[in-house]
Chain A
């Protein structure tokens, strides 16, 4: 699992490559949390994530909670259909804004 971070304007784009499970989720979270500054805007690109376990979903929700505590915003893009289905059935999806592509995601964060 790799985490790549870059900036587009004042938006932080975080692209994750590889499965998010109990082993990798804590590592990803270590890299995400420092980005959760006041008023931050994060685009999380999950196009390269084929599988996300319960621990992965929990990491996302935990990150979301920390962000919203600091008036930050996060948008998920490129979420695989099966992961979206699991997120929907388990209620995790209700906390997030999802967009299909990075372009749409950036538009949502700027809007």
Chain B
């Protein structure tokens, strides 16, 4: 399935919704959305991954870049990542840098 990424920033919460296969060709699209959100200087970054089916290493690099690109006090949440993607995050140690959630939980995301 073709990759799509959409983003918005509301009340300091930056949200990027990813869907389809995040391969090397799709990575720049994701990166552009990261830039967009970062420009608004949000206090949280939420990556909605429920419909993300596959992530190549190029996609993971954009994730790492997103961590680096956000100010240090910006928390990053990964929401609804499917099992293979979760495994990738854990193998590469990236799960230490983010909070993983099953669903979008405003109590956790918007108030922490």
Contact present between A and B (CB < 8 A): no
Q: Which chain A residues have a beta carbon within 8 Å of chain B's beta carbons? A: none
Q: Which chain B residues have a beta carbon within 8 Å of chain A's beta carbons? A: none
